[in-house]
Chains A and B, each alone.
Chain A
Amino acid sequence: MCPKGSSVKGSLLLLLLMSSRFLFKAVESLPICPSGAVNCQVSLSDLFDRAVMLSHYIHSPSSEMFNEFDERYAQGRGFITKAINSCHTSSLSTPEDKEQAQQIRHEDLLNLVLRVLRSWSEPLYHLVTEVRSMQEAPDTILLKAMEIEEQNKRLLEGMEKIVGQVHPGDRENEVYSVWSGLPSLQMADEDTRLFAFYNLLHCLRRDSHKIDNYLKLLKCRLIHDSNC
């Protein structure tokens, strides 16, 4: 082989690698920028835009899932009376109105969002599994559950990036609420099982709304200086 040819090939290969790296970079959903850089503000804005987009997107199927389940399975069973104060994330002291939400620090709020998101990783996984095995569950609920699980993962990643940018170093060690409703989901008793699903969906709807609201507050506060 001609050494000249090999060097040409090598340079071509290198060029190819570099370009592919750039390509891969473009495909990356969340750009990473070192903290302190000027252009990070832009990327934080992008991060928040994407996070809000995800959180907003997640709440819609949650709400639909709940409504559908409620109409199909929960009529006349009085589940709502039993679903009082039964969410596993209610131990997380989240703000309960606008004043409280505006008074909390953004770092705390961000951490709170992270906690809630982390708290839902496992329940969502089991929800999909159990809905799939539930013969009477329609496909729509299953598909929505799967979608929510997927997007929740992405949102979690994005939020971790945001937190890494906003105040890196103050990382919590994976604090979250533990969900223990799995046995109820697998109960043989239909009423118990259905209520377990009802309750899970009810809590999911609420928490997805909470996250969405918090992130929009944070976005307006941090990116738009409370002037959305």
Chain B
Amino acid sequence: MENNTKDATQANTEGQSAPGKPKIEKCRSPEKETFTCWWKPGSDGGTAANYTLFYRKEGESLTHECPDYKTGGPYSCYFNKKHTSIWMIYIIWVNATNQMGRSMSEPHYVDVTYIVEPDPPLNLTLEVKQSEDRKSYLLLKWSPPALVDVRSGWLTLQYELRLKPEKAPEWETHFAGQQTQFKIFSLYPGQKYLVEVRCKPDHGSWSQWSPENSIVIPSDIKMKDTTVWIFVAILSSVVCLIMVWTMALKGYSMITCLLPPVPGPKIKGFDTHLLEKGKSEELLSALGCQGFPPTSDREDLLVEYLEVDDSEDQQLMPTYEKDHPSQGRKPTQLDPDNDSGRGSCDSPSLLSEKCEEPRIPAPTFTIPEVNEKPDDPGTNVTHNWDPQGINFKGKNPYFNALGSKSSTWPIPQQSSNHSLRCSYHNIADICKVALGTVNGPTVSLGKEENHALNYPTTIDTGGEETTDKQNELGHFHSNVDQGTTWLLPNEKMPFMSPRPMDYVEIHKVNKDGALSLLPKQKESNGNTEQASAPDSSKEYAKVSRVMDNNILVLMQDPRAQTRVIFEESAKESPQPLQHNQAEKNLSYCTFPPGDCRLQTGGLDYLDPTCFIHSFN
């Protein structure tokens, strides 16, 4: 073999030189029956170079030229079946020739046995099928490349496929062996999958990947499932309809059962925002109570002895230990705790919304709440003020026992629910304190003793004879000056539950028109305006009604006497007895006047709130 290589660097005057040395790059056989070799030309040296390929076979001495320069493309040589021998080394070289010279490539040794690289598989089909157990799978099918002879066993192909969801970053590769189909399970319905397949002959190279094929996996809803879903939908819609119908019919009651309306505090001058902020000091001062929570001197105001009569008409008045008003109460009914803020709010006479009858406010508002809350002086017991107010359904024996015992307090008959519910709790505490101080028929707190406003004032309907009205007010303002506490029902204060109301002894009417309530034993009903001197043994007088001109009509005896408790100047705006500095901040339990209704006859007392309101 000649290695005639002209020196390519030699150039003629025109800059032309012999062609550069070509190089055989690659030889490939697609089916182990033919093969093609490609070469890369060197520099052509300025003029077109002619390339020729020669080869020699192992065991032969003859040199042959390339039989086909075209089939394989430019710079290629295609050896057809006739010229291809297997298990034999070919020695191939390329000559480049131009005007100036020629050059020859390095010989290339190639054995077709080891250069087999088939074409990709053909006819890749994807199909979604159902297996016997209703599972769907993807069936891939393909066919071997066209040129490869697999049937005779000349080539044995192995396949490999890869698939991925359309947007997935990586392929999932599966080896398929020699089979031309493949099943793939566990594909995501609704996804589009891309699939490619390639093949490799035994002891050869992998082909390129076939063109991509894609398929969308359908959703997996079968007809039977559809029926089931329809049935489920109908059933659920029927159930929903039933529920809606039930809600419509009984919605209101259900709602009230589930979410009982929360009474809001309705104390005039009371700022609920203060409650939210938790500034009890400010709040309490707004209520007109000082020193809340009551300090230990409140203890004095606590009723230490309570005698309660269970009888319907009467109950024992709690005996007063001290001058401070004692709270007549049933342990179950009244909260002896003067700290309990029930006070006026608890008073059955405290009817913010409905004032069915005059009632003597209980010295404590406790009626509903006392039962609920233990006496615990100093504790802030939040009472649930009955938004409905204290509703004595007419059976309150408030003061029917007026004559009977001096220290008899009517027992609220209705003990079930707290008709009197103050919506504000802190104030309830305040009131409770006031209540605590209020005892007996009179609720008056010595100012020195009770600075807290929170005494529910049981309005003493007057001295001993005064009919006590239960003051539903939530606040019991202790009048510093007078030592009386006013229990001014808050407008919003609900009235006490229709229980027998406690009594408030109206001590006197202040010059500024405020009712002063006195503890029963302390002061006589010296209020000139009050009813006439009561029976000494009788400490309370029932207020039968309030007249327009703010005249309390008292009943001398439980039966039917009416007495004017007092009257005040209508013009004068009632003021709480307490004249503390923060008078303006005092909050009162007030009741809309319109709510007051007078009852005669069986009524034992008048709701002080009715007339208190007039003071405002």
Minimum-distance CB pairs A-B, first 8: A220-B153, A216-B153, A96-B85, A217-B153, A85-B59, A228-B153, A98-B154, A84-B58
A11 within 8 A of B: no
Q: How far is the CB of B80 from chain A (nearest CB, A)?
A: 11
Q: Which residues of B contact A206 (CB under 8 A)?
A: 87, 111, 113
Q: How far is the CB of A21 from chain B (nearest CB, A)?
A: 36
- Please tell me if the beta carbons of A96 and B86 are within 8 angstroms of each other in the complex: yes
Q: Which residues of A contact B151 (CB under 8 A)?
A: 220, 226-228
Report which of B33, B88, B202 forms a contact with A98, defined as CB distance below 8 A: B33
| CB closest chain-B residue, reference A60 | B203
B84 within 8 A of A: yes
Assembled-state Cα–Cα distance A96/B82 (Å): 11
| 17 A-B contact pairs sorted by A residue (CB < 8 Å) | A80-B89, A80-B109, A83-B89, A96-B86, A96-B87, A96-B88, A97-B33, A98-B81, A98-B154, A99-B81, A213-B86, A216-B153, A217-B153, A220-B151, A220-B153, A226-B151, A228-B150
| CB closest chain-B residue, reference A227 | B151
| CB closest chain-B residue, reference A62 | B203
Report which of A97, A213, A227, A228 forms a contact with B85, defined as CB distance below 8 A: A97
- Please tell me if the beta carbons of B152 and A226 are within 8 angstroms of each other in the complex: yes
Q: How far is the CB of A58 from chain B (nearest CB, A)?
A: 11
A219 within 8 A of B: yes
Assembled-state Cα–Cα distance A213/B32 (Å): 11
Assembled-state Cα–Cα distance A83/B151 (Å): 34
- Please tell me if the beta carbons of B87 and A98 are within 8 angstroms of each other in the complex: no
The chain B residues found within 8 Å of chain A, CB to CB, are 32-33, 58-59, 81, 84-89, 91, 109, 111, 113, 149-154, 156, 202-203
Q: Which residues of A contact B152 (CB under 8 A)?
A: 98, 102, 217, 220-221, 226, 228
A149 within 8 A of B: no
A45 within 8 A of B: no
A184 within 8 A of B: no
Assembled-state Cα–Cα distance A149/B567 (Å): 133
A209 within 8 A of B: yes
Q: Which residues of A contact B202 (CB under 8 A)?
A: 56, 212, 216
- Please tell me if the beta carbons of B113 and A85 are within 8 angstroms of each other in the complex: no
Contacting residues of chain A (177-228) with chain B, CB-CB under 8 angstroms: 206, 209-210, 212-213, 216-221, 224, 226-228
Q: How far is the CB of A76 from chain B (nearest CB, A)?
A: 14
Q: How far is the CB of A222 from chain B (nearest CB, A)?
A: 10
- Please tell me if the beta carbons of B203 and A209 are within 8 angstroms of each other in the complex: yes
Q: Which residues of A contact B32 (CB under 8 A)?
A: 98
* Given contact pairs A98-B33, A213-B86, A220-B153, a sample of 11 additional A-B residue pairs in the complex whose CB atoms are under 8 Å apart: A80-B109, A94-B87, A96-B85, A97-B84, A98-B81, A216-B153, A218-B153, A219-B153, A226-B152, A226-B153, A228-B153
Q: Mark A21-46, 1 if CB is under 8 A from B, else 0.
A: 00000000000000000000000000
Assembled-state Cα–Cα distance A63/B204 (Å): 11
A140 within 8 A of B: no
A129 within 8 A of B: no
Assembled-state Cα–Cα distance A59/B156 (Å): 14
| CB closest chain-A residue, reference B88 | A96
Q: Which residues of B contact A94 (CB under 8 A)?
A: 87
| CB closest chain-B residue, reference A210 | B87
Assembled-state Cα–Cα distance A102/B81 (Å): 14
Q: Which residues of A contact B58 (CB under 8 A)?
A: 84-85
- Please tell me if the beta carbons of A63 and B203 are within 8 angstroms of each other in the complex: yes
Contacting residues of chain A (83-101) with chain B, CB-CB under 8 angstroms: 83-85, 90, 94, 96-99, 101
- Please tell me if the beta carbons of B89 and A84 are within 8 angstroms of each other in the complex: yes
| CB closest chain-B residue, reference A219 | B153
- Please tell me if the beta carbons of B87 and A217 are within 8 angstroms of each other in the complex: no
Assembled-state Cα–Cα distance A205/B153 (Å): 20
Q: Which residues of A contact B156 (CB under 8 A)?
A: 216, 228
- Please tell me if the beta carbons of B87 and A209 are within 8 angstroms of each other in the complex: yes
Assembled-state Cα–Cα distance A99/B150 (Å): 14
Q: Which residues of A contact B149 (CB under 8 A)?
A: 98
Assembled-state Cα–Cα distance A196/B365 (Å): 121
Q: How far is the CB of A99 from chain B (nearest CB, A)?
A: 7
Q: Which residues of B contact A209 (CB under 8 A)?
A: 87, 113, 203
Q: How far is the CB of B32 from chain A (nearest CB, A)?
A: 7
Q: How far is the CB of B107 from chain A (nearest CB, A)?
A: 8
Q: Which residues of A contact B81 (CB under 8 A)?
A: 97-99
Q: How far is the CB of A37 from chain B (nearest CB, A)?
A: 26
Assembled-state Cα–Cα distance A131/B149 (Å): 39
Assembled-state Cα–Cα distance A213/B84 (Å): 16
With a 10 A CB-CB cut-off, give which of B85, B87, B151, B153 has the most chain A CB atoms. Answer: B153
Q: Which residues of B contact A218 (CB under 8 A)?
A: 153
Q: Which residues of A contact B85 (CB under 8 A)?
A: 96-97
Q: How far is the CB of A100 from chain B (nearest CB, A)?
A: 9
Q: Which residues of A contact B84 (CB under 8 A)?
A: 97
Assembled-state Cα–Cα distance A206/B203 (Å): 11
Q: Which residues of B contact A226 (CB under 8 A)?
A: 151-153
Q: How far is the CB of A177 from chain B (nearest CB, A)?
A: 15
Q: Which residues of B contact A220 (CB under 8 A)?
A: 151-153
| CB closest chain-A residue, reference B154 | A98
Q: Which residues of B contact A90 (CB under 8 A)?
A: 59
Q: How far is the CB of A183 from chain B (nearest CB, A)?
A: 24
